[in-house]
Homo-oligomer: A and B are copies of this chain.
Amino acid sequence: MFFLKELPDEDMIAGVTADLPDVSPTHILTVLTRLRAASVLLRNIEAYLRRHGLSQTQFLAMMMIVREPDRASLSAAEIAARLDISKPVLSKALGSLADKGLIGPATSQPADRRQTQLSLTPDGQRRFDQLLPGYFQQLHAADM
């Protein structure tokens, strides 16, 4: 997250980057502005999901299962490949979702006993469906 409240002005950037000829202060300021807007949006999304008892990672993990076109379940490794987070973080997030009863093992399991196919429970699907419109509203209302 990018916490800087007041961005530097172009003159300040120009002063600092005077010996970096290929760095354009105007471009830097654009990037900083978007970085700040993205961080504020992410905080809003996290707060929205938190109010409903989920972290963003938990929500996105559910989304990956829901989004899969021709299947109703995914393994942890498949979810990890679609998200960009480390294995232990995903492991904890999935454990949390299972504790809440929002995901569970799918009815049909693969032969490979290292992995478990995971699907949303009816409760999980309901919760996800409830949260999705608000999630898109947050994205829609973002100042970017």
Contact = CB atoms under 8 A, between A and B. Distances in A.
A136 B60 contact: no
A67 B12 contact: yes
A35 to B, nearest CB: 5
Query: Would you call the interface of chain A mostly helix, strand, loop, or mixed?
Result: helix
B140 A24 contact: yes
A111 interface: no
Contacts of A60: 3-4
Task: List the number of copies, as a whole number.
Answer: 2
Given A67-B12, A132-B16, A34 B3 contact: no
Interface in A12-27: 12-13, 16-17, 19-20, 22-24, 27
Interface stretch (A37-45, A96-104, A117-125): A37-45
Q: How large is the interface on A (under 10, 10 to 19, 20 to 34, 35 or more residues)?
A: 35 or more
A12 B39 CA distance: 25
A68 to B, nearest CB: 12
A8 interface: yes
Interface string A108-142: 00000000000000000000000011001101101
